[in-house]
Structure 1
Amino acid sequence: MVGKAYDCVANPLGAVRFLFDKVTGQGPIDGHSSDWGVHPLFSKTVLEDGALSQVPEINAGPLDTIPIHSLVRFRGMVQDMFNVDYYVGAYKDGDVWRTTKYSDVAVVPPCSEANMRIWDRRPLYCVPVPGENLWVKNAFNLRDSQIPVSPANGDASMNQKRAREEFRMNIEDMDTDLLETNEGPAENKRSCRGATTSNGEAKSPSLEPHDLNIPLGEKNLVPCVVKIYDGLDADLKLNDIVEFFGVLTFDPELTRHHAFMGEILDGVQEAFLDEDISSQLPASKVPRLHSIFHRKLSRDNLFRAMPRNAPECIDLDAFNRSSFAELRTSLVARLTEIFGGDGLAAEYLLLHLLSRVHARVEPMAVGKLSLNIVESSASREGVFLPATMVSQAIAALLPRSHLMPLSLEFLNEKPIAPRKNYSSNRLVTGDLQLAEGTHLMLDETALKSGQLTEIGLQNVQFLKNLMEWQKVEYDFEFYKMEMPADVPVLVLSTARSRLFPADVVLPLRPTLNFSSNLSPDLVAKWRTYLGAARAGDHTIDPSIQKILEEDLVTARQEDRSIGPEVFHRWLTMARLLSVSYGESTLSLERWQMVRELERRLAERLRVC
């Protein structure tokens, strides 16, 4: 029996060329880039035929351990989108057509416009998912996916590693004398590039670590320039979380090529030498991934995309109302212990964790439920609930979360909203450039008396707009643009927050010691329960809609201070309470539960 003529994992470029040769053998190639069956082949091999465990993830281990030109994975957030990059996608070598698709640089015979095909690709600057919690990283990190170095290929791997180290040293030590030397192309061969200034790192000096735009100050994480082919970027937008599968490249020729491009390039190639921002990022710090296919990891399909051996990979379809109710009861009981026996706080925190923006009626973001937990009178013998304790509990339950200490130093240091830097033509990230579903906790207990600078006042306004309207203002220097967000915000303060008015203000009333431990036996089920509940649909049956309207009218007659914002909050809570029980329609029982929760909260606020 004859085996495969290609290996999609170890030699993806070989598989691409095999399919290309198969197509070009049937006739002349088209002037535009086409698929040749590459996308379905790799997608089926990786996701359906069990090869996922063999594909290493860029941030799961040292980058030097991954062979170049192998198939890799990168799970990250689209932080910036660059201009289209033009490149020589195919050229004629004698009577045979060859392709350079999914590659950076190819050494080819002297070529002319008639014997080339100029195609385009879209570079994206992607960073590891901001605020992604450790249990998600572990779930996607398949231990057997790191390709081992066998004795047969050990020397080659060491040579690759040595070449990378030497490349880094050359980049850092390169001076202008080297750039002015006249080094011609190899005899009868030259580097034929049909791109913009694609991938020529030597033109600009190595960037400092902070210039790599790693989010939230996280360290030891590798960003990536992902190049998308065949228009597959059409469904991607800024701040999307995506898992890319493609070819990892690391080619020292990128720098050498760019350094001597004036001696090498012909007129056709020079026509494409425009600004290519991705080429200014050093490959020694920002690897290139030529994406063959990708899948978006939205909040609703994250658990379905997890490897099957992950503890959190539970069949969402197996959840029923009974299992929802059981998990809800156990989770509320655990949250009650975390809050020192305050069951009301546990109920509101659960609804807050389930909240999401499911519609927009400008300027309102329908579905959000921000929460302000106040513990000024909750202290017993001077002991307060630590913000880190609440943050750690949330991090153990949600895929993405971030604790932001609101000290004067933090607020005054730098803008927390993204802004465009036109000198580098890049989007400079901020702490509020987050993917949808990322939980943000503001620790106002860290705020001491002092003066906010202009930057500090601006940052406070950014946070207020996020809480109230679920929008973040991006500064493009010549204009500002409000980008929609979906980031639940929890404020912990020692008095009712005046800076950040929340939808719900909850004074904490503990009766026991605060507890920080979560049951390891149930935490994986709680995570999946929260994911399934957030993804649940919900409607209001016409039969109960009239009852709600009458109840709201009665409430308004009894208390004239009740306005539309209160009605909106009650309806939001009713929806969240229903999905927390696994119910898709609002029942009278759940509506009455909301009214009871609000009654208890009102009583607590009156004695504050």
Structure 2
Amino acid sequence: MDLLNCRPDQWYLNETKYSELLQNEQIWNQIPLLNANELHNFQDWQLVRFQGMIQDMHGPELYLEKFTVTNTETAESTIKYGKYVDGADCKSNETIEECPSTTPSERHVYVAISIPGINPWVHKLEEDRYKLPSTSSSTSVHLKRPVEEMEVASATEPSNSNKRPCNQSAQPAETTPVVSQEYLLNFPIPNPSGKVCHLKVYKDMDKIKLNSICEFVGFLSLNPLLGANIDDDMNGLESQIHNPPPCLIPRIHCVSFKSLTHNNPLVTHEKMSADKMQIIRKELLILLTQLMCGDELAAEYLIYHFISKVYLRKDLMALGKFSLNISNVPMLENIDYVQEIYKFVETLTTKSHYLPMLLENMNELNFVPKKDYSSDRLTSSVLQLSDNTHLVLDETKLTPGKLNEGGVTGVRALSNTIKNQKIMYDFTYYQLEYDCDIPFLVFSEGKSMLPSDVHVILKPEEMHLKTFSEILEAAKHFLKPELLNDIRLYLTNARLTQYDLSDGVLEMVQNKFVEMRQAGNITGDDLHSLLVLARLVCISQGRNTLDEECWKKACALEEARKERIKNRSSEK
């Protein structure tokens, strides 16, 4: 069976066999990836893959799986199928007849966008692997027939009559203003090469969550007449949002999809060994120590921040979150320290975003996703990101001035997300919280005005400050391609490490905690922080369970970190 050249009706009639073929990962990966190619390189109803984040969920729509098309001149009837297509492809002298035994089926519509914050190296690797060879006829979208010969009927809703003409396409209302491309795309953060797709999903809808990352396989619909379709139940703005031009926002009728735990294209089924992870960790520590101006303690905590994740939610707590505030950031002449550090964050991680906390940004950017009822869609915001998107906040850019209402809302939203790893969505009449897992890294001069799980006061060495421009160049040369890819693999592997605490280890921790309580002032919150840090110390070394060595190291790190804070307070 030729899966790559399969048509929607063929899939419908042989769904079980084609679905079995898709279970083969090699066959799955042979399907062209939309993210790595321009839209004009694809044909209408071609089977494609799309990797993206669920940005919005539209309501369900009805369609007819099976119906009869009758020629009004010859009375000849043909059975056609409405699954995996937008409507009936028929001529002006044909009508649709609903089969007496056919009842409308339901499919759900989702808006998926290219993964927000995806870093350039990831996109380049995808292009290198999945870029289609250019063809001489790739300057325009390929359709089965010229557009002027096509007449499309919507078979998404049953009519009151058993018969209806096929050519029901409508023209846009003259009084409705045309919305901008930026408004239609609705990205949470700028993404010049990003794509948006409307997904028509027929099964397993309960597995699709807002802001989750999935890879979809389905039939690409590029019919330009779909953008001119007007729904009588919608106003003009809503109709444009729900029926955008396919040349900008195509439809994909999904036959299968799978959730993704990461988007690192370097990861294979072969796991990195613990010995290899320890070697790569040492190299990464050398690099980050130099970038932290000789401060190995700050470099250690930065590694743990990179590999952290929310591994459990219990009693309204997000266990495992590890937001990091690095203060005492050096102000160097002709060098923007935070931006230079972010360039390395962008190079090492798969998803990240740099946000300078300028007063203008805080007052004008939208931090809270909001439901727009006039267009019946969710307006995105800076915080609508998928899990493990590293958000780097540069508080050194915050200048004196007054926060307006939007700025106050933004700061409150950031604080709430950092503390609880939940984002509040504004539905005007009520608010809903959605879980998230966004690692926050905040650079500041003094202690940040935003909360954090860990505050590290940077202790730069004078020689590093004087030679920081040379250090940056040396760091770039240090990251040879092989080592760079190893570090990228290491960060993903460490984050995905399965970690367990045995009963014996728990007993050891309890005994150590009793000893610490007897020796000084330590609270239950301190124990929780130590357990999170000890877990990160272990998985950073490729271990999947806690031992006494990792526990002692976590305690020593926390003692050194708190000593700096104590010394800084006494200096004041």
TM over 0.5: yes
| Preserved CA contact (<8 Å) 1:103 1:290 | yes
Query: Which secondary structure does the structure 2 equivalent of 1:448 belong to?
Result: coil
Listed as ranges, the matches of 1:178-189 within 5 Å are none
| Preserved CA contact (<8 Å) 2:324 2:440 | yes
Query: Which secondary structure does the structure 2 equivalent of 1:606 belong to?
Result: helix
Listed as ranges, the matches of 1:106-505 within 5 Å are 106-108=88-90, 109-114=94-99, 117-143=103-129, 145-146=131-132, 148-149=134-135, 154=137, 160=141, 191=153, 193-195=155-157, 202=172, 205-211=177-183, 212-229=185-202, 231-255=203-227, 258=229, 279-299=242-262, 302-303=263-264, 306=265, 312-317=266-271, 319-376=272-329, 378=330, 386-497=337-448, 499-505=449-455
Pair 1:165–1:435, CA change in 2 (3 A): farther
Per-residue deviation, 1:95 = 6.3
Gaps in structure 1 of 5+ consecutive residues:
21-34, 168-184, 263-269, 307-311
* Structure 1 match to 2:72: none
Pair 1:542–1:383, CA change in 2 (3 A): farther
Query: Which secondary structure does the structure 1 equivalent of 2:104 belong to?
Result: strand
Listed as ranges, the matches of 1:526-537 within 5 Å are 526-537=487-498
* Structure 2 match to 1:61: 37
Per-residue deviation, 1:276 = 7.4
The separation in 1 between residues aligned to 2:96 and 2:443, in whole angstroms, is 65
* Structure 1 match to 2:533: 573
| Preserved CA contact (<8 Å) 1:417 1:473 | yes
Query: Which secondary structure does the structure 2 equivalent of 1:404 belong to?
Result: strand
Listed as ranges, the matches of 1:9-88 within 5 Å are 9-13=4-8, 15-16=10-11, 19=13, 35-44=15-24, 47-49=25-27, 52-53=29-30, 55-88=31-64
| Preserved CA contact (<8 Å) 1:42 1:292 | no
| Preserved CA contact (<8 Å) 1:88 1:192 | no
Pair 1:190–1:347, CA change in 2 (3 A): closer
Pair 1:522–1:200, CA change in 2 (3 A): farther
Per-residue deviation, 1:117 = 5.0
Over the aligned positions, Cα root-mean-square deviation in angstroms equals: 3.1
Per-residue deviation, 1:383 = 7.5
Pair 1:392–1:522, CA change in 2 (3 A): same
* Structure 2 match to 1:171: none
Pair 1:494–1:200, CA change in 2 (3 A): farther
| Preserved CA contact (<8 Å) 1:85 1:276 | no
Question: What is the TM-score with the length of structure 2 in the denominator?
Answer: 0.85
After superposition, what is the alpha-carbon deviation per residue over 1:220-277, rounded to whole angstroms, capped at 9, x for unaligned? 4221101112x23221110011111111111133255x36x89xxxxxxx9xxxx878
Given the alignment of the two structures, is residue 510 of structure 1 paired with residue 488 of structure 2, yes or no?
no
Per-residue deviation, 1:507 = 1.3
The separation in 1 between residues aligned to 2:225 and 2:273, in whole angstroms, is 57
Query: Which secondary structure does the structure 2 equivalent of 1:532 belong to?
Result: helix
Per-residue deviation, 1:85 = 1.1
Gaps in structure 2 of 5+ consecutive residues:
70-75, 160-167
Pair 1:278–1:199, CA change in 2 (3 A): farther
Query: Which secondary structure does the structure 1 equivalent of 2:413 belong to?
Result: helix
Pair 1:12–1:525, CA change in 2 (3 A): farther
Letter in 2 for 1:506: V
Pair 1:144–1:530, CA change in 2 (3 A): closer
* Structure 2 match to 1:545: 506
The separation in 2 between residues aligned to 1:63 and 1:454, in whole angstroms, is 41
Pair 1:475–1:321, CA change in 2 (3 A): same
Per-residue deviation, 1:521 = 2.2
The separation in 2 between residues aligned to 1:163 and 1:36, in whole angstroms, is 26
Per-residue deviation, 1:80 = 0.4
Letter in 1 for 2:191: E
Per-residue deviation, 1:531 = 1.1
* Structure 1 match to 2:165: none
Query: Which secondary structure does the structure 1 equivalent of 2:52 belong to?
Result: strand
Query: Which secondary structure does the structure 1 equivalent of 2:65 belong to?
Result: strand
Per-residue deviation, 1:119 = 2.1
The separation in 2 between residues aligned to 1:79 and 1:572, in whole angstroms, is 31
Pair 1:221–1:423, CA change in 2 (3 A): same
Question: What is the TM-score with the length of structure 1 in the denominator?
Answer: 0.80
Query: Which secondary structure does the structure 2 equivalent of 1:111 belong to?
Result: strand
After superposition, what is the alpha-carbon deviation per residue over 1:508-528, rounded to whole angstroms, capped at 9, x for unaligned? 122224434233221111111
The separation in 1 between residues aligned to 2:284 and 2:146, in whole angstroms, is 50
